């Protein structure tokens, strides 16, 4: 019985220590991180659109050459 209580007390202590050491962000930091993530995603989408445009241009050039 005593070992069970000591084990529970130990687990509780560990849980409190790790919960108390969590990195807490301010609302400003959360907003800044969200904006950074959106900018990164926008850059990725922009690159994908540019690649798609290049692919379409190449297909148009190939179609012109085949038509001649």
Q: What is the pLDDT of residue 5?
A: 87
Domain assignments of the chain as residue spans, ordered by start = 25-68
Residues 6 or more apart whose CB falls under 8 angstroms from that of 33 comprise 25
Q: What is the pLDDT of residue 56?
A: 95
25 or 19: whose pLDDT is higher? 25
Q: What is the pTM of this model?
A: 0.53
How much is the CA Rg of the chain, to the nearest whole Å? Answer: 28
24-67 pLDDT, tens digit per residue, is 788 898 899 999 999 999 999 999 999 999 999 999 999 988 88
Tell me which DSSP letter residue 21 carries: T
Q: What is the pLDDT of residue 21?
A: 62
């Amino acid at each position: 019985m005593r070992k069970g209580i000591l084990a529970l007390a130990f687990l509780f202590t560990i849980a409190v220590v790790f919960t108390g050491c969590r990195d807490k962000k301010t609302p400003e930091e959360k907003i800044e991180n969200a904006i950074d993530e959106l900018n990164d995603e926008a850059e990725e989408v922009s690159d994908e659109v540019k690649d798609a445009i290049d692919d379409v241009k190449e297909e148009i050039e190939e179609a012109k050459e085949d038509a001649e």
